[in-house]
Structure 1
Amino acid sequence: MREPAFWYRPSSSMSLLLSPLAAIYGAVAARRLQREGFDAGIPVFCVGNYHVGGAGKTPTVLALVKLLRDLGETPVVLSRGYGGRLRGPVMVEPGRHLAADVGDEPLMLARTVPVAVARERLDGLALAKSQGATVIVMDDGFQNPAIAKDASLIVIDAHRGLGNSCVFPAGPLRAPLPPQIERTDALIVVGEGSAAEAVAAKIAARDKPVLTAQLKADDAALSSLRGQRVLAFAGIGDPERFFRTLRSNGVEVVGQRAFADHHPFTQGEVDALVEEAKRDALKLVTTEKDLARLGAGAELPPWARGIVAFPVKLEFDSAIKLRRFVSERLFRARDPKFRKG
């Protein structure tokens, strides 16, 4: 879906009009958060958002996976597979599955880490454990109470924050903010800006860590684009963040085209982008997730070749602080005194 513009305005008549629906939705979501989850028997780390749309969860998952491996763990990612047709449980195979089967984010993640996709999280948990997982990393699912979490890491964009801070559909929040903050174990603020300061202060007041991080370009990708003019397009939760990341890394973005999150590109749309880029002598650039939706198996179809991805990774301003938090949570998860219920 494409996020309504009024979600990111201080006040609007549309938010006020939708507030009764938001009150009902928020009450149901808040009650759902109170439910007791199933004890997975192994540590569970959840990477989530307070709101709908993107904030940098996928790069956060990859950074967390790398850290867990450095600590000697065998992580398996558990995803609902949003946008895919398969209900699962199924292990994602990049050479076999398409984004239309399992979703773009799981397909992209599976190139780095084993990913189990399942509409029913408990079924996916069983499959992930059968793969030898010593720790589960949940990609999204913070508001889903099915599985108890040992650590919930919430990702928020420093530039956009939480918009008008209203609950869906009056705003972008998936549930009222207080019960979400109560269940937050760490906040990760991505990028530059002041829009997340109020939330960060609330988390810090609860003596929970607030971690800051930046999206950094892949060196090889950046080198290949240096000195070139580009036409950038993206169908993610926050396309503007992608365009900002390109520019902050010194890429000359001459044109940009934003599409709705998880947009299923047609050949006609891609043909038009390719033609525009050729006409203006521009390089056509998109995100890894968007490129995953264009692929057929391991290769791009002929009409999409020439489009390049711009990979990014999340770098924490204090890697030591993140490592300390994760190590402590792993210890607590395995200590009978701290068993989750």
Structure 2
Amino acid sequence: VDLVLLDATDAAGLDALLPAGRLREPLTELCRASAVMITRADSRQDVEMIHSRLRTVAYSSEDAIEVVFRPESVMAVVSGERQPVDWCRKKKVWLVSGIGNSPSFRRSAESMGVEILGETAFEDHHAYDHSDIEKIRANLRDTGGEIVLTTEKDKGKLLPLLMPSDPWWMLRLGTAVIRGEDRLHRLIDGSPSDGIQRGGARA
């Protein structure tokens, strides 16, 4: 199964190929994909912008599968202890991320009901060092924060730099299909009758 993932919060990224945009291939090549999956589909306005772009290349937007990412649990970066999302509610947190979409991470944190005291958002693939950690520790201390909340992607880079006493936690996200779940299951199960409709034809 060849799935193409399009971020609903980054419609502008569909304007050009890498490095100017997000595309590895032109949108016209979607005809080779098994399906298009629109991620971070929380906002209908954002999703409709993606559907509009798909229609410009004669891709039937009705075929697109839509998914959202929802907070599932948190895990202590050093010890591996796990807690439910409700454990974080009303906690005073400092956000840390080195990903391509830090606003999305912030929205996920906000949905948990935490009090965000501040945020350190690095560029994607940031290489953390001890200086970064010391600055973040100082931010947490100076603002009266309780925990640092980071992403699953950043955990592996941060772990070697932290001490057992550091209250750093990682947010674990779950994926929920909000449109096209049956079709996704058919694709995974290998149903031969589930082609993609493009320009009114089945492929």
1:311 to 2:172 alignment: yes
- Partner Cα separation in structure 1 for residue 22 and residue 165 of structure 2: 33
| 2:35 alignment partner in structure 1 | 186
| Unaligned residue ranges in structure 2 (runs of 5+) | 74-82, 195-203
TM-score (norm 1): 0.47
Name the aligned partner's letter for residue 306 of structure 1. P
Rounded Cα–Cα distance in structure 2 between residues aligned with 1:204 and 1:223: 44
Q: Distance in 1 between matches of 2:63 and 2:26?
A: 21
Distance (Å, rounded) in 2 between the aligned partners of 1:284 and 1:204: 45
Post-superposition offset of 1:209:
3.0
Among all aligned residue pairs of Structure 1 and Structure 2, give the percentage whose two residues are the same amino acid: 22
1:321 to 2:171 alignment? no
Which residue in the other structure is 2:69 paired with? 215
Deviations 1:123-169 (A, max 9, x none): xxxxxxxxxxxxxxxxxxxxxxxxxxxx2111122122243602233
Contact in 2 for aligned 1:185/1:209 (Cα 8 Å) = no
Q: Secondary structure at the match of 1:216?
A: strand
More strand by share: 2
Contact 1:163/1:172, CA 8 A, preserved across alignment: yes
Find the counterpart in structure 2 of residue 289 from structure 1: 153
Cα separation, partners in 2 of 1:266 and 1:197, compared to 1, 3 Å = same
After superposition, the C-alpha distances for 1:268-319 in whole angstroms (9 at most, x for unaligned) are: 10111011011111221100110111224xxx63178321101111111143
Instruction: Provide the C-alpha distance between the structure 2 equivalents of 1:211 and 1:164, rounded to a whole number of angstroms.
Output: 17
Structure 1 runs (4+) deviating above 6 angstroms are none
Does 1:176 find its partner at 2:26? yes
How many correspondences in the alignment?
Answer: 178
Are the equivalent residues in 1 in contact too, given 2:55–2:61 (CA < 8 A)?
Answer: no
Match of 1:165 in 2: 15
In 1, Cα distance between equivalents of 2:85 and 2:128: 25
Q: What code does the residue aligned with 2:101 have?
A: D
User: Within 2, Cα distance between the matches of 1:287 and 1:221?
Assistant: 16
Q: Is the 8 A contact 2:96 2:120 kept in 1?
A: yes
Alignment root-mean-square deviation, CA = 2.7
- Equivalence for 2:200: none
C-alpha displacement of 1:177:
2.2
Amino acid at match of 1:249: M
Q: 2:6 aligns with which of 150, 156, 163?
A: 156
Q: Is the 8 A contact 2:36 2:64 kept in 1?
A: yes
The secondary structure found in structure 1 opposite 2:140 is helix
- Paired position in structure 1 for 2:134: 271
Q: Answer whether contact 1:187 1:203 (CA < 8 A) is retained.
A: no
Alpha-carbon spacing, 1:207–1:229, altered in 2? closer, same or farther (3 Å): closer
